[in-house]
Amino acid sequence: MSDDYEIVIGLEVHVQLLTESKLFCGCSTRFGAEPNTQTCPTCTGMPGTLPVMTRRAFELGLRTALAIDCQISPFTKWDRKQYYYPDLPKGYQISQFDLPFSHDGGLDIRDPKGRFAPKRIGIIRAHLEEDAGKSMHDEQAGEADSRIDLNRTGTPLLEIVSQPDMRSPAEARAYLDELKLLLVYLGVSDCNMQEGSLRVDANINLHLTGENGEKIATPIVEIKNMNSFRAVERALEYEAIRQYQVWQETGQRLGDVPKQTRGWDDAANLTRGQRHKEESSDYRYFPDPDLVPVRVSPEQIEIVRRALGELPAALRARLIGAYGITEYDADVIVNQGRDVVSYYVELAEACSDGKMASNWVQQDVLRTLKEQTITIDAYPVRPAQLAELLGKIRGGEIDTTRAREVLAQMLTSGKGVAETMSALGIVRVDESELIELCQQLLASNPKVVAEVKAGKVQAAGALIGQAKKLNPNANPARVREICMELIAKS
Amino acid sequence: MSLSREQVEKVSLLARLQLSESELIAMTAQLDAIVGYVEQLAEVDTEQVEPMAHAIELSNVFREDRARPSVDRGEILANAPHADGQFYLVPAVLGD
Amino acid sequence: MSLTDLSASQILAELNARRFTAVEVTQAYVERIERHDPAIGALLRYDAETALATARGIDDRRQAGQPVGLLAGLPVSVKDLLCSQGDLATCGSRMLEHFRAPYDSTVVARLKRADAVLLGRTNLDEFAMGGSTENSALQKTRNPWDVTRAPGGSSGGSAACVAARLTPLSIGTDTGGSIRQPAGLCGITGMKPTYGRVSRYGLVAFASSLDQAGPMATSAADAALLLEAIAGHDPCDSTSIDAPVPSYSQTVTQPLAGLTLGLAREHFGPGLDSEVERAVREAIAVYESLGAKVKEISLPHSKYSVATYYIIAPSEASSNLARYDGVHYGHRTDERAMLAELAAERQKLEAARDTAGLNRLDSPLVRLYRRSRAEGFGAEVKRRIMLGAYALSSGYYDAYYLKALKVRRLIRQDFDSAFQSVDLIAGPVTAAPAFKLGENVNDPLAMYLLDLYTVGANLAGIPGISIPCGLSAAGLPIGLQLQAPPLEEDRLLRAAHMFQQATDWHMRRPNLP
Ligand SMILES: [Mg+2]
Ligand SMILES: [Zn+2]
């Protein structure tokens, strides 16, 4: 049925910026402290207290905004968003309304699996704001009091609002993956969804074509409390189908009903409508008189831009271009982060075979990192050593299977390639020795020789098996070649 | 234009104030008089005028990102009308 | 002549000369408070023991020849709107009647650093909203010159306190005239500094872009001393100005040569009491006799200043006072009674099958807020919160709040161009002397219009001072206001001192009951 309608998705992402102190006071932003132990008169909104913004939060915001191609406003100010909630002690949230510090950017997304064509997702704005605290409600609401913890109150957040440019849950997922990777590369956030340092709200509706060809949009629904990217994907998949059914039943169009907010129930795998307060929409934004505006010069912007470093998209392109690996391989490596990328680059340069380097990084190095849950800097074998080993494979000195044994040894022993090879009794077998070995084999296997002559080439496999038994260091490929030559001559 | 009782009721919810019937009547009359007075600003030509939200023109005031010890929880909760030593307590917030 | 007849500067000289001790001084003022404050009600609280202990410590350090602060041993009272660690900060409100500040405001911290003897806390209009101190939920304050009259406000407690010499110095705050107007009505010297000159950290906000704390004293020289102690940049206040602070107490005695005073046409229009006008014009004549030139100027937008002020101030107030919701501190309504009230209303609506009403019925949390705030705030505070919430609400923002911000700039530009041609602007502080208690309580708009001469300085952020310049036939003080360009407090104080060298209005004192 998905060809009857087009899914239209826009995402609102809140990321916690990696500052030591809160946005407007000196309290720590560390996660997991005892309730209300990371608070002070300022972040609990005591009478007379005043906010003073930490420069770091603004700088991290700038970094991110530039990385997603946003325009930076030369003049930006701070506004109060006013609403009453127990986890908002001042009765307003300091945020940005009509003059966000950045706007009109974009993020390119692609799907290595090719489910959709590469495209750019527009970004409406990215602005800074303070987080609220946490309210804990009792299961059977009404029974017990709600408990309020203000540790999180005042933590710096960057809100990134996308255009409604995504046309499928898969695109939304790709946008989130790419954005998260970018934020991690930039070092502006740890993006830990479990700890709430990355939160996603989704706006979704459907575009259909009516009987007489007119374009129809269904009411926009905002989906909240999805606590993983997978959940976002599933919630969007669910919501698209639900909205299509609602459309078929009610025929409601955009504007017929007020914007609805629904919460995602991961266990039940469905969204539920949330009661919205009638006046909650009137936030009475106005410029916060306690904070002064910020002016940003083109020079400052350039300094930050130059310090961004090579970002995922550029890195992928470089790996594909310089080392001839596939987009898929480049994706896997870049997704591992800067350190794995530089390990790969060093390896590829040293062994001058990007493809081989990519295979070994993905199949051997990454597997070990995963099994031992270590990071690349803790990986015992340095690129130069691994390159030496790969060189021996390409020089025919050792086959891949034996090379893997060598690598395994090196990981535990921490010894070099040559040392490990001789420890394993791996020595180069010279040509004359090999020819002699092959002649023996042919002599003792007349049947095989006959079969090969008759054209049953794969029969030669038996010879290689025996060769390995006679001399484990014999290079199977070379053995095959020699045998074939000898058979042909005979 | 003059203020209606309904508008004043709506604002009293926005402002989280409970007004008695008599307060509502008095408030409507007084706000109407005051709003009537301030509306004289409409006659001022402000076409080319930038709004002035601050009394002084300062910009780019920041502090360094340094965490300092927070205040003792007991001191913070000391003023709370209802707390359990760990949390502030409010009547159960139903739904959201 | 008793110790309490001396000015703060004179007392300080005596203390430094070791002719008195801080304990003697403090004791003398404590006795005056005990004798006279019951009839005046200037102070909400005073703590003689703590004050005397502080004084003792200062005396010991003086005796030992150790360095002491600028105000060492001088009793100072503080408007109960500024936080002092461990002490109440009621703001004259039921809402904060029992609120204990867990931190020091910068002003209080600097007074402590200057070795002032913090003797007591003065009464005020609730959250500084008002011009008579009658909006205090806690106490009535009377004008020492006529106890049937209001002391003005919102710093009426501080003005009455100094006028009655219950403390030689007091800290007030001024958002629309709340230092200058009561100073004028109580016959003392009071200054609103340039916005940003004195830190707002720990000053409980009324209207953040207008609030400023300042000195209240018996003379310009004393005001200079107190301002010097509290002024200066504060990293805890983003709107604090980072500029050096002159030593006002030294420069105040230097007369100003070639002074040009501007008289704003708009300040002498209809509504100005004739006695007040005469006193103000005589004061200006005194300046002329001291060599000052006088020039008529115009502040064309000043007639809009009250309207502009009563949009901006309530808008900011409605937001600043949103934090008083009975959740984190302050008054909370009785939850049982609140839930019972809701249940009863629900029953009624259900009986009447009023579904619309049921949908509109407050949730327990919303009702907790609404009842707590309704019980905690007085009528004037509610009025301003409502006015501000309305001015900022969707559909009205541009017509009211944004419009007011634009007119505010025009008002500032009027001052800027005026100061191109004059050094100071001189005029009345209030249109009339102190009014009777209860005279204006039922007409808020009439009350607002009394702020005509003072709100301009707050909107423009410029400094202004009020000094005594005469007495009405009824024996009530009349004040002269001087206004200067930003950061010219020094000019204001010197001009005021010149006047006080040539006149003795500031020496006049009420006969206390
Ligand atoms: Mg937000
Ligand atoms: Zn804090």
Mind listing the pLDDT tens digit for each residue in A184-224? Answer: 999 999 999 999 999 999 999 999 998 888 899 999 999 99
In chain B, the residue whose alpha carbon lies closest to the alpha carbon of A36 is B73
* Residue whose pair of structure tokens reads 């408007």 in the numeric block: C79
Over residues A152-168, the mean pLDDT reads 98
CA of C252 to the centre of ligand 2 (A): 41
The per-residue pLDDT for B93 is: 73
| B14/C contact by beta carbon, under 8 A | yes
**Of residues B13, B16, B54, nearest to C325 (C-beta):** B16
The per-residue pLDDT for B95 is: 45
B14 pLDDT above the threshold of 90: yes
A428 pLDDT above the threshold of 90: no
The per-residue pLDDT for B96 is: 40
Instruction: Choose among A235, A384, A141: nearest CA to B94.
Output: A141
The per-residue pLDDT for A414 is: 87
CA of C240 to the centre of ligand 2 (A): 20
Distance from CA of B22 to the nearest CA of A (A): 24
pLDDT digits (tens, 9 = 90+) for B50-96: 999 999 999 999 999 999 999 999 999 999 999 999 999 998 875 44
A277 pLDDT above the threshold of 60: no
The per-residue pLDDT for C62 is: 96
Chains in contact with B, counting 3 or more C-beta pairs less than 8 Å apart as contact: A, C
Instruction: Choose among A109, A105, A95, A96: nearest CA to A66.
Output: A105
CA of A190 to the centre of ligand 2 (A): 21
pLDDT-derived band at B1, boundaries 50, 70, 90:
low
**Contact between C229 and C110 (Cβ < 8 Å):** yes
Out of A78-87, A225-234, B7-16, B87-96, pick the least confident. Answer: B87-96
Provide the residue type at B56 as one letter.
I
pTM of the model: 0.93
Distance from CA of A255 to the nearest CA of C (A): 19
The per-residue pLDDT for A278 is: 46
Say whether B64 and A34 touch across the interface (CB within 8 A). no
A114 pLDDT above the threshold of 90: no
Helix (H, G, I), strand (E, B) or coil at C329: coil
The per-residue pLDDT for A140 is: 59
User: What CA–CA distance (Å, rounded) separates C327 from A135?
Assistant: 12
Strand partners, C213: C173
Ion ligand 1: residues, CB within 5 A, are A 159
pLDDT digits (tens, 9 = 90+) for C473-483: 999 999 999 99
Catalytic residues of C: 79, 154, 178
**Of residues A36, A57, A148, nearest to B90 (C-beta):** A148
| B85 contacts on A by Cβ (under 8 Å) | none
pLDDT digits (tens, 9 = 90+) for C245-296: 999 999 999 999 999 999 999 999 889 999 999 999 999 999 999 999 999 9
| C328 contacts on B by Cβ (under 8 Å) | 79-80, 88
The per-residue pLDDT for A264 is: 96
Distance from CA of C287 to the nearest CA of A (A): 38
Average pLDDT, chain C: 97
Chains in contact with A, counting 3 or more C-beta pairs less than 8 Å apart as contact: B, C
| A144/C contact by beta carbon, under 8 A | no
Say whether C399 and B27 touch across the interface (CB within 8 A). no
| B9/C contact by beta carbon, under 8 A | no
* Residue whose pair of structure tokens reads 């020094």 in the numeric block: C490
| A278/C contact by beta carbon, under 8 A | yes
| B13 contacts on A by Cβ (under 8 Å) | 279
**Of residues C238, C315, C365, nearest to A52 (C-beta):** C238
Sign of CA dihedral C165, C166, C171, C176: negative
| B1/C contact by beta carbon, under 8 A | no
Average pLDDT, chain A: 92
Q: Which ligand is nearest to the CA of A125?
A: 1
CB-based burial label for A274 (10 Å; 0-12, 13-18, 19+): middle
User: What CA–CA distance (Å, rounded) separates C363 from A296?
Assistant: 45
User: CB atoms < 10 A from the CB of C394, how many?
Assistant: 12
pLDDT-derived band at C134, boundaries 50, 70, 90:
very high
In chain A, the residue whose alpha carbon lies closest to the alpha carbon of C364 is A142
Strand partners, C117: C75
Say whether B91 and C335 touch across the interface (CB within 8 A). yes
A342 pLDDT above the threshold of 90: yes
| C366 contacts on A by Cβ (under 8 Å) | 84, 277
C170 pLDDT above the threshold of 80: yes
**Contact between C144 and C186 (Cβ < 8 Å):** yes
CA of A121 to the centre of ligand 1 (A): 20
Q: How far is CA B86 from CA A16, A151, B83, in A?
A: 24, 11, 7
The per-residue pLDDT for A188 is: 97
A466 pLDDT above the threshold of 50: yes
**Of residues B63, B84, B90, nearest to A52 (C-beta):** B63
In chain B, the residue whose alpha carbon lies closest to the alpha carbon of C460 is B55
Backbone angles phi, psi at A16, to 5 degrees: -80, 125
The per-residue pLDDT for C60 is: 98
pLDDT-derived band at A144, boundaries 50, 70, 90:
confident
| A290/C contact by beta carbon, under 8 A | yes
Say whether C445 and B30 touch across the interface (CB within 8 A). yes
The pair of three-digit structure tokens given for residue A338, joined into one six-digit string: 């800067």
Of the residues B20, B48, B56, B73, the best mutation for testing chain C's interface (the one with the most C CB atoms within 10 Å of its CB) is B56
Q: How far is CA C292 from CA A188, C103, C295, C454, C492, in A?
A: 61, 46, 10, 23, 14
The per-residue pLDDT for A280 is: 56
Say whether C194 and B41 touch across the interface (CB within 8 A). no
The per-residue pLDDT for A430 is: 79
| B91/A contact by beta carbon, under 8 A | yes
The per-residue pLDDT for A225 is: 86
A1 pLDDT above the threshold of 50: no
User: What CA–CA distance (Å, rounded) separates C184 from C476?
Assistant: 10
A301 pLDDT above the threshold of 90: yes
- Which tops the pLDDT comparison, A447 or B60? B60
The per-residue pLDDT for A2 is: 42
In chain C, the residue whose alpha carbon lies closest to the alpha carbon of A81 is C319
The per-residue pLDDT for A119 is: 97
Query: Taking an 8 Å Cβ-Cβ cutoff, which residues of chain C contact chain A?
Result: 82-83, 89, 91, 96, 99, 101-103, 105, 200-205, 207-209, 235-239, 315-316, 318-319, 322-323, 325, 327-329, 360, 365-366, 369, 389, 392-394, 397, 401
A139 pLDDT above the threshold of 80: no
User: What CA–CA distance (Å, rounded) separates C122 from A326?
Assistant: 77
**Of residues C102, C239, C319, nearest to A46 (C-beta):** C102
Over residues C403-427, the mean pLDDT reads 98
CA of A23 to the centre of ligand 2 (A): 9
CB-side neighbour CA atoms (13 Å) of C499? 33
ipTM above 0.95, yes or no: yes
Helix (H, G, I), strand (E, B) or coil at C293: strand
Helices A431-444 and A446-453: angle between axes, nearest 10 degrees: 90
The per-residue pLDDT for C129 is: 98
User: What CA–CA distance (Å, rounded) separates A134 from A155?
Assistant: 12
In chain A, the residue whose alpha carbon lies closest to the alpha carbon of C105 is A48
* Residue whose pair of structure tokens reads 């001559």 in the numeric block: A489
| C390 contacts on B by Cβ (under 8 Å) | 3, 7, 11, 31, 35
Over residues A65-87, the mean pLDDT reads 97
Backbone angles phi, psi at C384, to 5 degrees: -70, -35
Percent of chain C with pLDDT over 90: 98
Say whether A45 and C328 touch across the interface (CB within 8 A). yes
Collect all residues with Cβ–Cβ distance below 8 Å to A100 and sequence separation of at least 6: A73, A76, A125, A126, A127
Say whether A50 and C96 touch across the interface (CB within 8 A). no
